[in-house]
């Protein structure tokens, strides 16, 4: 009986907790072109993300992504005369902050990004 209890405890202890990113976040993109700040609103169902990103000036686009433990990836597509431009962001969530680097963000250039949960401020 003791061996069974130890095995159950070990398997439960190995389960990673899912990071909750649902809510409104301020995302800042820093590239060689300069800094840009957007508002992302995430809805979360397990590891699947949906929502929207507001670039300002009434430019609001749907976003999709995933969160796996503390790793986050999301994408939104900006229409352009030369064809749709996907903007992909990936990084790590730590509490009420998130960050990623070495991204290529279409005409925004390459660089890193950070974010903080707005309702935590």
Q: Examine residue 47 and state whether it is found in any structural domain, yes or no.
A: yes
Cα dihedral across residues 36, 37, 39, 44: positive or negative: positive
Q: Examine residue 10 and state whether it is found in any structural domain, yes or no.
A: no
Q: Examine residue 2 and state whether it is found in any structural domain, yes or no.
A: no
Q: Examine residue 78 and state whether it is found in any structural domain, yes or no.
A: yes
Q: Examine residue 114 and state whether it is found in any structural domain, yes or no.
A: yes
pLDDT for 16: 60
Domain count, the chain: 1
Q: Examine residue 66 and state whether it is found in any structural domain, yes or no.
A: yes
Residue 8 has pLDDT above 50, yes or no: no
State pLDDT tens for residues 47-98. 999 999 999 988 999 999 999 999 999 999 988 888 888 989 999 999 999 9
Q: Examine residue 44 and state whether it is found in any structural domain, yes or no.
A: yes
The two tokens of residue 5 are: 């209890």
Q: Examine residue 68 and state whether it is found in any structural domain, yes or no.
A: yes
**114 confidence band (pLDDT: 50, 70, 90):** very high
What is this structure's pTM? 0.81
The residue with greater pLDDT, 3 or 29, is 29
pLDDT for 57: 87
CATH number, domain of 94, equals: 2.40.128.120
Distances (CA, A) of 85 to 29, 67, 75, 77: 16, 22, 10, 5
Residue-range definition of the domain harbouring residue 36: 17-120
């Amino acid at each position: 009986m003791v061996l069974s209890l130890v095995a159950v405890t070990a398997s439960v202890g190995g389960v990673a907790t899912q990071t909750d990113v649902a809510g409104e976040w301020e995302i800042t993109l820093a590239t060689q072109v300069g800094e840009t700040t957007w508002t992302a609103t995430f809805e979360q169902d397990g590891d699947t993300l949906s929502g929207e990103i507001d670039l300002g000036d009434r430019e609001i686009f749907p976003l999709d992504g995933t969160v796996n433990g503390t790793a986050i990836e999301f994408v939104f597509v900006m229409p352009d005369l030369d064809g749709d431009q996907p903007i992909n962001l990936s990084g790590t969530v730590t509490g009420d902050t998130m960050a990623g680097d070495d991204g290529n963000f279409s005409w925004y250039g390459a660089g890193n990004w950070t974010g903080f949960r707005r309702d935590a401020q």
